Amino acid sequence: MNLAIVKYNAGNIQSVLFALERLGINAKVTDDKEELLSADKVIFPGVGAARSAMDSLKEKGLDKVIQQLQQPVLGICVGMQLLFEHSEESDTECLGIIPAKVKLFQSEIISPDIPIKVPQIGWNNLYNLKTNLFKDVPEQSFVYYVHSYYAEMNPYCIGTSDYGIEYCGAVQKVNFYGVQFHTEKSALVGEKILKNFLEL
């Protein structure tokens, strides 16, 4: 399999590579347009801030490349958020593939009596699972999250989590998939989801 990982300054690339190695898969880390366009599948990881991530993509011309991809693409964490139209983080215009927005958890609004902690760090349930990305993944499985911003519920949501409010934990539009949680840190469940993506 020709698997490419998008190379830019916001990718949690090493941990994703380790997770793929555990599955016996070698991936090419690249910012080359032709290598990304010709790959069988593309993983779009991300950590950090949406604005700096988008700036890095634009600087390399990768924003336009990602929008052109026709093969299965998996955005992870910030990589998922950048698939959306807009993020409240630094008022950032994103890639516009998913017609919905990314918002900041506001603990005092969500739960004024028992404020939630922001960022959400740790294990949380994933439910309302749809599509083959979650083949043989049980409802209410635990996955590992680290995030202050969340994707609002939308028609393309294929997995839901709850942190004071319901939010979209996973999304799919045509060939673009995204997961807010870290598959590479989500133990056997995360490994299964990665394997399912590779088998799409």
What's the CA gap between 159 and 139, in Å, rounded? 9
- Residue of 86, 152, 182, 191 marked active site: 182
* Number of domains making up the chain: 1
| CATH code of residue 169 | 3.40.50.880
- Residue of 77, 94, 157, 168 marked active site: 77
The model carries a pTM of 0.95
| 168 given a catalytic annotation | no
Residues of the domain holding 191 = 3-87+97-198
Please indicate, yes or no, if residue 57 is contained in any of the structural domains.
yes
Please indicate, yes or no, if residue 155 is contained in any of the structural domains.
yes
Please indicate, yes or no, if residue 7 is contained in any of the structural domains.
yes
Question: Which residues touch 91 (CB under 8 Å, ≥6 apart)?
Answer: none
Q: Which two tokens stand for residue 168?
A: 């979209």
Please indicate, yes or no, if residue 92 is contained in any of the structural domains.
no
Please indicate, yes or no, if residue 108 is contained in any of the structural domains.
yes
Please indicate, yes or no, if residue 160 is contained in any of the structural domains.
yes
Please indicate, yes or no, if residue 14 is contained in any of the structural domains.
yes
Please indicate, yes or no, if residue 8 is contained in any of the structural domains.
yes
Alpha helices in the chain (DSSP H): 13-22, 33-38, 50-60, 62-68, 78-81, 107-110, 187-198
| 77 given a catalytic annotation | yes
- Residue of 94, 184, 191, 199 marked active site: 184
| 184 given a catalytic annotation | yes
| Tens-level pLDDT at each residue, the chain (200 residues) | 999 999 998 777 899 999 999 999 999 999 999 999 999 999 999 888 999 999 999 999 999 999 999 999 999 999 999 999 999 999 999 999 999 999 999 865 555 666 778 899 999 999 999 999 999 999 999 999 999 999 999 999 999 999 988 999 999 999 999 999 999 999 999 999 999 999 99
